[in-house]
Amino acid sequence: MYDKDRGKGDGAVILRDRIIRDLDSIPSLPTAAIKTIRLLQDTEVSIAELARTIEYDPSLTTNLLHLANSAYFGASRQIDSVRQAIIRLGTNNLFRLVVASAVVPLAHQPVRGYDLSAGELWIHSIAVALCSDLMRAELGLSTPSFMFTSALLHNIGKVVLGNCEYVEPQKILDMAVSHNVSFDEAELAVLGIDHAEVGALLLDRWNFPQNIIEVVRWHHYPNNYPDEKIVIDLVHVSDNLCMKTGIGIGVDGLKHRVSQESLSRLKLSTDIAEHVLIGTMENLSDFRNMLN
């Protein structure tokens, strides 16, 4: 029996419990990345302490210097120290880079259950982050710095569900079609959990900031979030716009619904949406290269 609010059948409850248990088998983020993420949550952290932590990870150090010396930051002079790179990038961009560097190995792999080939999920994630930021600018909105990172991570739960051998995507899709509901609602009915909640639980295990976890958790259900919705609205609408243009579209792509309340709260016109999407497509390649 289909329940649009929650998978309550015995099978769904069993699957939900199994999926949550399996989160413990997902590899943790690199130690340097976890420590840097924690340090960046401290407004009093020193550049010296950040630099010492990052320098323990050769890959992270390489990525940091590459980004700091990229044309995007108008690098007129090459820098060769982590400390200088942090100063040039600033803590917001540093946070984005650390998250991207840590998550790329997961997000780049094929996601079989959603019929996404290697790299497609990451391309979609970058597109949604970029689209959210461009939409914010076009609408003249002021948003917290965690929005971009939240958008990058909004579908991280798909990596888990999409690679569970016992999760049957065709059964979920059949439920979505036969009951005329969105794919995430069908996930909930069949599995007792959807990819948004799985992603939030995974980020909680990785000790990510709560504000990022909440955006990931509610990006398909912005109206269910009880507090300020602007970031969730932007990520939710951007996710749907990018899906409709075919960016990183998987088996679920045509079975998601945009919240009319989110569109209304954002006062998003068709003209602005089209302009934002054009900008997203024009900038996607550059941002993809930077965050890779």
Residue 8: the pLDDT is 55
| Confidence bin at 170 (pLDDT 50/70/90) | confident
DSSP-derived letter for residue 9 is: S
Residue 10: the pLDDT is 60
DSSP-derived letter for residue 28 is: P
Task: Give pTM, 2 decimals.
Answer: 0.86
Furthest-apart CA atoms within the chain: distance in Å:
64
Show Cβ contacts of residue 14 under 8 Å, excluding neighbours closer than 6 positions: 192
182-188 CB contacts, 8 Å cutoff, 24+ apart: 182/220, 182/255, 182/256, 182/257, 183/252, 183/255, 183/256, 184/220, 184/252, 184/256, 185/4, 186/255, 187/161, 188/5, 188/6, 188/7
Token pair for 163: 């690679």
Three-point CA angle 93, 99, 103, nearest 5°: 145
Residue 237: the pLDDT is 97
Residue 222: the pLDDT is 95
Task: Please state the rounded mean pLDDT for residues 164-174.
Answer: 82
Give the N- to C-terminal CA distance of the chain in Å, as an integer.
44
